[in-house]
Amino acid sequence: MQHKAPADMPEYLREMIENDTFKDQPKEFQDRILNSLKAIATGESSPEVAVASEFIREEFEKSRAIAKAANLLCGRIEEYVVREWKT
């Protein structure tokens, strides 16, 4: 089943949802993503967390774009994201 993810969602997460591979991710990864989205949606996160989250997201996207442009990820972006998430 093809799902449509929100356009403002991080690209790696949007791709997992649209390609139906989010369900294949480790449970810890799924729980972190879902709990974070729930906290944001319900307003349970502090303004400081929102600012920090935005900064981290921007820096991650910059790093990923550089690595992708230099062909350092070699089609293994999903493994890279999971590995980075765990560290």
State both tokens at 22: 């989010």
Q: Would you state the pLDDT for residue 28?
A: 93
Over the stretch 9-66, which tens digit does the pLDDT of each residue have? 778 888 888 888 888 989 998 898 888 888 877 878 888 877 887 888 899 889 888 8
Confidence band for 76, pLDDT divided at 50, 70 and 90: low
AA letter at 75: G
Q: Which of 31, 36, 46, 43 is nearest to 9 (CA)?
A: 36
Give the other-Cβ count within 10 Å of 85's Cβ.
Answer: 14
